[in-house]
Amino acid sequence: MLEPVRIPCRVIVAAHPSIPDAVTEAAAVSAFFQARGLESTHGTLNDITLRKRLKDGEFDLLVAIGGDGTMLRVSHLCAPSNVPILGINMGRLGFLMQFGREQWHTALEQLLKGEYWIENRMMIRAELRRADKSLGNWHALNEVVVCRTAAVRPVRVSASVDGMQLTNYVADGLIAATPTGSTAYALAAGGPILPPELRNILLVPIAPHLSVDRAVVLSEGTSVSITLRGGDAVLSVDGQKPVGLAEGDLVDVRAGDYAAQFIRFGDREYFYRNLTAHMNQPSAGFPR
């Protein structure tokens, strides 16, 4: 039995600007909602006006048209405003999507009948500190990474869990990932796959040299601090523009202040079917 849900009334349809036909598809989806009496508008992720309206609370649903990278970007926009996201896959992989452009008519009919459920996915919060001064805060749906620059030399980092020293790494970097991120960079680095409903942080070293080479799954509610001990390194949050680090910089990672909400249909075991389908096909490159 599906849980009672709210039928959306004000919808924004956001397309990835660089994916062929995504903007055209967004217009068709928006027209679908309008024909059924809903308020709906569409545009691209680069539309500053739409982003402001979303932040101001003018919408109660966002339909994202693109790939997994699109879902990452809209999760950063929607999570603080508690706006659920429905994804239509027109990218390469679609780990975060449940259906593609051929199925959206059927899925949206189910949506308007209330035949869906909300999946809450943990986000993590990263704070960069230098000499007890905060240099910034970020939220991530996938991962926070401290890694080497273009220079082909490993970096030295230490990791502490809830203030207690865990271990030191000499590696290309260290990933602190969410369960969602366990199927992204962390998976490529050899980490385990975690079910998306968990609220654990996953630590995965990247190409460790004479260091601990196993991933560590931290307990729910645990925080981890990553300190740069040596080498040229940057901080990257969900693949956004990297931030340069200095020796002694500390990156504190813990559960975020809010969660990403994804619209889902059918049973709650979809994740494993989706996972199996993607793992049985050749990689088409990194998601957009």
Kindly report, residue by residue over 1-36, the tens digit of the pLDDT.
445 678 999 999 999 999 879 999 999 999 999 999
Active-site residue list: 68
pLDDT for 195:
94
Domains and CATH numbers, the chain: 10-116+265-279 (3.40.50.10330), 124-257 (2.60.200.30)
pLDDT at 288 over 50: no
Name residues whose C-beta falls within 8 Å of residue 62's C-beta, 6 or more positions apart in sequence: 11, 12, 13, 14, 54, 74, 77, 78, 83, 84, 85, 86
Provide the percentage of residues in the chain whose pLDDT is more than 70: 94
Element (H or E) spanning 48, and its range? helix 48-55
pLDDT for 282:
53
Higher pLDDT, 143 or 271: 143
pLDDT at 155 over 90: yes
DSSP 84: -
Residue 125: closest CA among 257, 262, 259, 222: 257
Kindly list the distances between the CA atom of residue 43 and the CA atoms of 12, 23, 37, in Å, as whole numbers in the listed order: 8, 7, 19
Mean pLDDT confidence for 59-76: 95
